[in-house]
Structure 1
């Protein structure tokens, strides 16, 4: 889609440069005594012209990259929607067509519920990302039990991720935050899902929530593949995903960490990306303002 504008840009650039040189030569021939002035003005004009051309090219490149990311996002969302829907359909068809005992039916229904929750998380992410794009958006400010919210999210994802998955919780009780409970719960969900997604099967994920002086600290650590230093500054960009599009195997839309950073910014909270030892990543969030229990 962007090939024609880029081709036109290069054509016009070289045409303009050629014409400027030609007119410069003609002016010098007409008034050779003013040669120095013509050359000086030409150099100054060329500097401005080339600077503008470079900026325009960078804008084209950014647009091209954004277009590719949006294309990848649509493909990812389509896949993320189709996969659980196909699974739910298969479970329901099996229940209807076969005479299963009560225990098998219960297991199939539980699995279907997990897939529905997965769809619900995806829809919530898209809705929050759309909401965050609005400049006028305001986060609700209400006091809620952050400790309880984290525990419930971890319990749900524990069952969803792996039968032997160990989400190790070290959560202080009765820590209350003043903020948008829905948006902040989405932050925890996205970080925990990422930790599970980028870890080896059934690997341990550590969640810590505690008070430190006048701050509340949330830390989510995994022992997965980690994030290279050169990519840490980009992971919170919209649609950005670590690694090459051609070699990446993990699922995702590239919205999760963008939502995390945007929601935390609106709550005046800071997030840091650290290396876990010996492998993995730690996301550490600091809340400077919270409502006491």
Structure 2
């Protein structure tokens, strides 16, 4: 990137120098047309500078995109490798050692959790591929969203902490007409992120209720929160809060991109608010909801 910027600046200043030099020569040989030469030269100079700045911005954006894709590949490799190694170790232990029934159940239960992590990762990548296809239409069906949220909470609660960290307030039997697979992914990503970015065993609060003509789904955590300048960026593909050098949490940068894109296709909106005293609240609104 540094070499590319050096070459860019060199060519930019070389072109400016040549423009000024040829302008000086034209004025010297045709002093009567000085006004026209200066005017046209300034217009050309403005267009040239504007184009150069646009080119620089595009090059920088392309570099950032490539860097994000590299980070994604590193992250997804780690995300795949870690649970696979864990499952392999558990199964090898069960096969090689004489374990009692209770120990086998614990090992198999932990293996199942790792497989569920892999399943969530594969679903994220699969859904991202589908969403990238603009002609793809999300198939919609009626389902009990309350029941779906309860199932996801139950699964993620077991993966989160031994104590009760995911609390919820769900209105009963809320029916939603939507793509169940995609909405499952949205709910899973939001709750999983809240657990991931919260301190160990901190409370995550999930709410689902009707609000006038709308349907409200929200997830609140007590983590570090999201800086104001990053709230609009977190829904970009591959974007992750913080620095790659200091980040400790796992992830691929696809989750919130999927959330935003899926909700847009369902004419729903998502907002990020600050929680009290710390943390974030992700609030999803399905407008003009009708049960």
TM-score calculated relative to the size of structure 1: 0.97
| 1:40 is aligned to 2:39 | yes
Q: Which residue of 2 aligns with 1:246?
A: 245
In the comparison of the two structures, how many residue pairs are matched? 291
- Structure 1's consecutive aligned runs of 4 or more residues displaced over 4 angstroms after TM superposition are 2-5
Gap change, CA 1:282 and 1:89, over 3 Å in 2? same
Deviation at 1:131? 1.0
Q: Which residue of 2 aligns with 1:168?
A: 167
Q: Which residue of 2 aligns with 1:225?
A: 224
Q: Which string of whole-angstrom CA distances, capped at 9 and with x for unpartnered residues, describes residues 80-130 of structure 1?
A: 011101110110011011100001001100100000000000010011111
Give me the whole-angstrom Cα distance separating, in 2, the residues matched to 1:243 and 1:5: 26
Q: Which residue of 2 aligns with 1:107?
A: 106
Within a 5 Å distance, the mapping from 1:199-238 to structure 2 comes to: 199-238=198-237
Deviation at 1:15? 2.2
Give me the whole-angstrom Cα distance separating, in 2, the residues matched to 1:224 and 1:20: 56
Q: Which residue of 2 aligns with 1:119?
A: 118
Deviation at 1:241? 0.5
| Gapped regions of structure 2 (runs ≥ 5) | none
Deviation at 1:165? 4.2
Give me the whole-angstrom Cα distance separating, in 1, the residues matched to 2:212 and 2:85: 49
Deviation at 1:141? 1.4
**Residue pair 2:204, 2:220 contacting (<8 A) in 1 also:** yes
| 1:25 is aligned to 2:24 | yes
Give me the whole-angstrom Cα distance separating, in 2, the residues matched to 1:240 and 1:179: 27
Give me the whole-angstrom Cα distance separating, in 1, the residues matched to 2:217 and 2:176: 12
Deviation at 1:38? 0.9
**Residue pair 1:170, 1:209 contacting (<8 A) in 2 also:** yes
Deviation at 1:158? 0.3
Deviation at 1:12? 2.5
Q: Which string of whole-angstrom CA distances, capped at 9 and with x for unpartnered residues, describes residues 148-201 of structure 1?
A: 100000000000111114210111111011110000010000000100000001
Give me the whole-angstrom Cα distance separating, in 1, the residues matched to 2:3 and 2:265: 40
SS at match of 2:200: coil
Give me the whole-angstrom Cα distance separating, in 2, the residues matched to 1:203 and 1:139: 35
Q: Which residue of 2 aligns with 1:287?
A: 286
Give me the whole-angstrom Cα distance separating, in 1, the residues matched to 2:24 and 2:34: 9
Give me the whole-angstrom Cα distance separating, in 2, the residues matched to 1:129 and 1:274: 25
Within a 5 Å distance, the mapping from 1:85-104 to structure 2 comes to: 85-104=84-103
Q: Which residue of 1 aligns with 2:180?
A: 181
Give me the whole-angstrom Cα distance separating, in 2, the residues matched to 1:155 and 1:165: 11
Indicate the RMSD between aligned Cα atoms, in angstroms: 1.1
SS at match of 1:66: helix
Q: Which string of whole-angstrom CA distances, capped at 9 and with x for unpartnered residues, describes residues 130-153 of structure 1?
A: 111111111111111111100000
Deviation at 1:6? 3.6
| 1:190 is aligned to 2:178 | no
SS at match of 1:44: helix
Deviation at 1:248? 0.8
